[in-house]
Amino acid sequence: MRNIRALPILAIIVLMVGVGSSIYVNSQKNSSTSITINNEEYCVSQFSEMVEEKSIEADAGFPLDQLINKIGVASPETHEYTIIGSDGYQKTVTWENMQAGIITKGRESVFPDLPKAYRIKEIVEIKVEE
């Protein structure tokens, strides 16, 4: 009998922990619209001033290779590029991939020549690797 009375209290505690966890996780998300490329911070809205939009499949965005060229990366074809999402998920691509890829206004990478695992969402940084 005593165990049955404790069950609603335990259920309330579990629900409170779940709600608290959800609030914490959502508060930690990066809501910024800026992206760090080669250690310089850019707003997505700046991309339209730098390069023309390009469409790939059903997605439209800004050509990654043109952005890299505009910000002045020396010898871009000799580097690899690590794209990092706000959740820490990252993938490294070659210059050839960058030439085919775009970054959408929603900060998502699209590479028609790579698997969907390379669609990084909420991009916060693009590192130029040596």
What's the pLDDT tens digit per position in 13-34?
888 888 887 777 665 554 567 8
CA 6 from centre of chain: 44
pLDDT value of residue 22: 77
Does the pLDDT value for residue 56 go beyond 60?
yes
| Position 44, amino acid | V
Residue 32 has a pLDDT of 62
What pLDDT sits at residue 63? 96
Q: Is residue 81 helix, strand or coil?
A: strand
Reported pTM: 0.73
| Residue 108 structure tokens | 């998502």
Q: How confident is the model at residue 102 (pLDDT cuts 50, 70, 90)?
A: very high
**Average pLDDT, integer, range 78-106:** 96
Question: What's the confidence (pLDDT) of residue 21?
Answer: 78
Q: For position 27, what pLDDT does the model report? A: 59
Percentage helix, strand, coil for the chain under 3-state DSSP, each rounded to 5: 40, 30, 30
Return the CATH number of the domain spanning residue range 34-129: 3.90.420.10
Contacts of 28 (CB under 8 A, 6+ apart): none
